Amino acid sequence: AQSVTQPDIHITVSEGASLELRCNYSYGATPYLFWYVQSPGQGLQLLLKYFSGDTLVQGIKGFEAEFKRSQSSFNLRKPSVHWSDAAEYFCASSGGSYIPTFGRGTSLIVHP
């Protein structure tokens, strides 16, 4: 069975600083991996996805993620965080099926 772990419940960064949110997956074969963002009271917006090929994936809003099979990781990065990036970030996987399973989420707090 597939599972996704987000080890950090909260991450606090200063505006303009770089960001890395961690995600680890558990699945035997190559999983399909996603990062979603959710603002309070809103739905989930897809930031980026990884199916195969180039392990560095570019997404919307200046985000990127790198798939590392050796570390079973798919960490999300952004070089310079804006106050509007404050939100809940979910890593998800659909390895083995097309139905996404979510990690517990990481709350990003941005200080001015």
DSSP annotation string for 63-81? -EEEEEGGGTEEEEEESS-
The strand pair at 106-111 and 10-14 is best described as parallel
Looking at the Cβ atoms of 15 and 38, the one nearer to other proteins is 38
For position 46 contacting other proteins by CB under 8 A, the verdict is yes
Question: Contact with other proteins (CB under 8 A): which of 59, 67, 78, 101?
Answer: 101
Nearest to 79, CA basis, from 64, 96, 68 = 64
Residue 94 binds other proteins, judged by CB under 8 A: yes
Supply φ then ψ for residue 81, to 5 degrees. Answer: -85, 140
The distance of closest approach from Cβ of residue 96 to other proteins in the complex, given in angstroms and rounded to an integer, is 11
- The least CB distance from residue 103 to other proteins, in Å, is 6
Least CB distance to other proteins at residue 76 (A): 15
Tell me, what amino acid is at 54?
D
Among 1, 14, 28, 41, interactor with other proteins by CB under 8 A: 41
Residue 47 one-letter amino acid: L
Asked if 54 interacts with other proteins (CB under 8 A), we say no
